Amino acid sequence: RKEVEQDPGPFNVPEGATVAFNCTYSNSASQSFFWYRQDCRKEPKLLMSVYSSGNEDGRFTAQLNRASQYISLLIRDSKLSDSATYLCVVANSGGSNYKLTFGKGTLLTVNP
């Protein structure tokens, strides 16, 4: 099983649609979880952290299910500017050790 596995995509949705991305991780001891966004030919940028209780940032909602080792990202009322690759990221740390493992990403295209 891959360390971090995402929906392969690509997703093509119209403006205003709601779209959900899913991600599973293999290491049950993982401590921190993030969604990053990467635009074409750009660097990854943090979109939001994912907390155990779930968290929302405007149109974006992230959920974590530790029992199922599952993370999700929901985008409501999608905009053209949401078109990007969304990377699920899992962190494992202890002492001075800290390692992020990235999923391969899911490409989202929002169409007018």
Q: Which residues bind other proteins (CB under 8 A)?
A: 31-32, 34, 42-46, 49, 87, 91, 93, 96-105
CB-nearer residue toward other proteins: 11 or 34: 34
Q: Least distance (Å) from other proteins to the CB of residue 106?
A: 11
Q: Give CA–CA dist 11/44, Å, rounded.
A: 19
Own/partner pairs, 48-52, CB within 8 angstroms, 24+ separation: none
CB-nearer residue toward other proteins: 78 or 87: 87
Q: Least distance (Å) from other proteins to the CB of residue 71?
A: 15
CB-nearer residue toward other proteins: 17 or 55: 55
**Tokens at residue 48, please?**
């939001």
Taking the CA of residue 59 as centre, how many other CA atoms within 13 Å lie in the half-sphere pointing to its CB?
Answer: 12
Q: Least distance (Å) from other proteins to the CB of residue 44?
A: 5
Q: Least distance (Å) from other proteins to the CB of residue 107?
A: 11
Give the containing element (helix H, strand E) for 15: none
Whether residue 30 contacts residue 61, with contact meaning beta carbons closer than 8 Å, is answered with: no
